């Protein structure tokens, strides 16, 4: 049996899905999660905006001893995705300890731009 590691609560204030792509790669963001434990982790996402109510309780499962690099464009609430071209923020709560990193690839121009941060662990 492997133990859970990390934290249960993470925040990423700078979310943004670029509207355009060009060149070989598609603009996207990934929320990268590592679940070190033998058990499944149940994640609950809340998406915050500048000018409207949050999207709450988007669920994602991470199997035990696996990572998952979650495209934010795949997160849906009642069939609705996160809107593109809009500033937002991400809160992730997990039932067991996990570790969360956020990365963005922007290919608005043909050449790529990359950024990455560890999510902020709320204690």
Residue 28 to residue 102: CA distance in whole angstroms: 11
- Residue 67 engages its own copies in binding (rule: CB under 8 A): yes
**Residue nearer to its own copies on the CB measure, 81 or 89:** 89
- Residue 42 engages its own copies in binding (rule: CB under 8 A): no
Contact residue for its own copies among 8, 21, 39, 54 (CB under 8 A):
54
Find, among 110, 114, 122, 81, the residue nearest to 23 by Cα: 110
Query: Beta strand 66-71 with 113-118: parallel, antiparallel or unpaired?
Result: unpaired
- Residue 92 engages its own copies in binding (rule: CB under 8 A): no
Helices (H) and strands (E) in the chain, counts: 0, 10
Backbone angles phi, psi at 57, to 5 degrees: 60, 50
Binding residues vs its own copies (CB under 8 A): 5-6, 9, 11-16, 20, 23-25, 30, 32-34, 36, 48-51, 53-54, 65-69, 87-89, 91, 99-101, 103-106, 108-118, 120, 122
């Amino acid at each position: 049996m492997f133990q859970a590691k990390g934290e249960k609560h993470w925040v990423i204030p700078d979310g943004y899905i670029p509207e355009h792509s060009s060149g070989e790669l598609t603009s996207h963001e990934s929320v990268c999660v590592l679940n070190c434990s033998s058990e499944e982790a149940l994640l609950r996402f809340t998406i915050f905006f500048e000018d409207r109510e949050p999207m709450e309780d988007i669920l994602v499962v991470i199997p035990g001893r696996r990572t998952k690099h979650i495209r934010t464009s795949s997160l849906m609430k009642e069939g609705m995705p996160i809107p593109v071209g809009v500033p937002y923020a991400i809160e992730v709560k997990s039932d067991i300890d996990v570790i969360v990193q956020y990365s963005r690839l922007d290919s608005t121009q043909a050449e790529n731009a990359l950024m990455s941060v560890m999510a902020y662990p709320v204690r």
